[in-house]
Amino acid sequence: MIRYPPGVPDKAVSKYLSRQAEPEAGLSDGVAGTFGHALIVPAYGEGQSLFDTLGSVPRGPRGETLVIVVLNARKDSPAAIHEANAAARKRLESGPKSSRPLPGDHAASELEFANGRVLVVDRSQAGHFLPEGQGVGLARKIGNDIALSLSAAGRLSSDWIHNTDADAVLPNDYFDQTEALPADDSAAAIYFYEHRFAEDPELARAARLYEISLRYYVLGLDWAGSPYAYEAMGSCIAVRPAAYAAVHGFPEKNAAEDFYVLNKLAKVGTIARLAGSPVMVDGRISERVPFGTGKSLSNLLSKQKALAGFRLYHPAVFAHLAAWLRALSAIASAGGKLDAALSELPRGNPFFLTEVLLESLERMKAFAAVRQAVERSSGDPETMLRHFHTWFDAFRTLKLVHALRDGGLRSLGWREALAEAPFTGLSSWTVEDPEPLRQALAAAERKLAEKPAGVPAVGLESGKERDSSG
């Protein structure tokens, strides 16, 4: 049975499939049988790592799994990408279980594997290349649309569509973790993760510092009271079918598609944070997308002194964010009195840059958005606060963080930031080795699984507003 978050009608799925799904969604008709679970894996220039990922897919508690691998490239992708895709295609087709081409205009085939079947959708060869400027977002959307079609037809038993990457290794309890979630208003679930570190000490150090920065940011957001305090990693996402349809699927972006889809999902239901065995993600250098783990590691190692001078947001940035979020709550409680709430911000405090905060918010047109939300809320505090957080979302939170950084709260050396931040618990630590500090932050973030993230839905009529950041 498919469960729908409150405020998301059943018709959202059929409407999405008929109007917004990718043409490949029809491939579900050519795949025989039913499945317990579905897992989508985009693959762009992958080698052995793709097959390591496939080999790690466990048998779930509901039976066979359908793994949808979307081989993808653009015509203008580097030659090395095309060569790797061709090798992966050949290896998939010539595996121990021979592949069966699916009928139709799409380059697709299926083959068996130990715990189910693999559907290979090939958007990596002439006549089927992804459009210029598009990439992993469209690849994820294709795979999820196929899984959604199976779900709508009653051929997917699980209430979840799972997503990972071709550099991830899944734990044995992977599918059990979402099965254990209650039938609540969750729109998505985020798996806990750990990085696998390279033998090269410099690359391993870069990956550890990068992971520290990810966890530091999430812990800072949670401490500040943000409803968007979760990891946005495409390798660790599961989505509810109806919620996925309600937010119009993955955006067709070449990067940050995970960030933007979660930003929208957090507004139609909660984001469950899982604390089971982690998804193991490769800490590798990559130029596959303009930013993200691989690109960040590449920049750290290529730019002179970048690794030695690694920095994190100033902890005071999160204090300013917390003050703004408290102001939003005060505005809602007071029936929309914006000026009164802003007058309570600290004044004359050398450690609190009130004018920088106000100027940053004014440039973002935050005050105009608050006034509009007040008008739309008919004086109801709960509705008002939901409207506030629907506008001041993960995207605008990051914009404010950057504005505060650029406005005077300059980033600190990573060790200094960890020691000064009130949310890390590392003020008394004196070690310089990043590994124990990374482990401490990971343990702190794991505890966040005790509470869900996200903003309850304010109604599907505000879809245009929800889509403004993606």
pLDDT digits over 15-67, tens only? 999 999 999 999 999 999 999 999 999 999 999 999 999 999 999 999 999 99
3-state secondary structure at position 111: strand
The one-character DSSP state at 23 is: G
Q: How far is CA 116 from CA 53, 158, 243, 414, in A?
A: 14, 14, 26, 45
Q: How confident is the model at residue 5 (pLDDT cuts 50, 70, 90)?
A: very low
pLDDT digits over 267-300, tens only? 999 999 999 999 999 875 555 545 555 556 666 6
Q: Read off the pTM.
A: 0.90
Q: Is the pLDDT of residue 7 over 50?
A: no
Q: Where are the alpha helices (DSSP H) in 293-393?
A: 293-302, 315-333, 338-342, 354-363, 366-376, 381-391
Of 3, 92, 109, residue with least CA distance to 46: 92
Strand residue runs (E) in 16-107: 37-43, 65-72, 100-101
Q: At what angle do helices 366-376 and 354-363 cross, to 10 degrees?
A: 70
How far is it, in rounded angstroms, from Cα 255 to Cα 237?
15
Cβ 252 vs Cβ 134: under 8 Å: yes
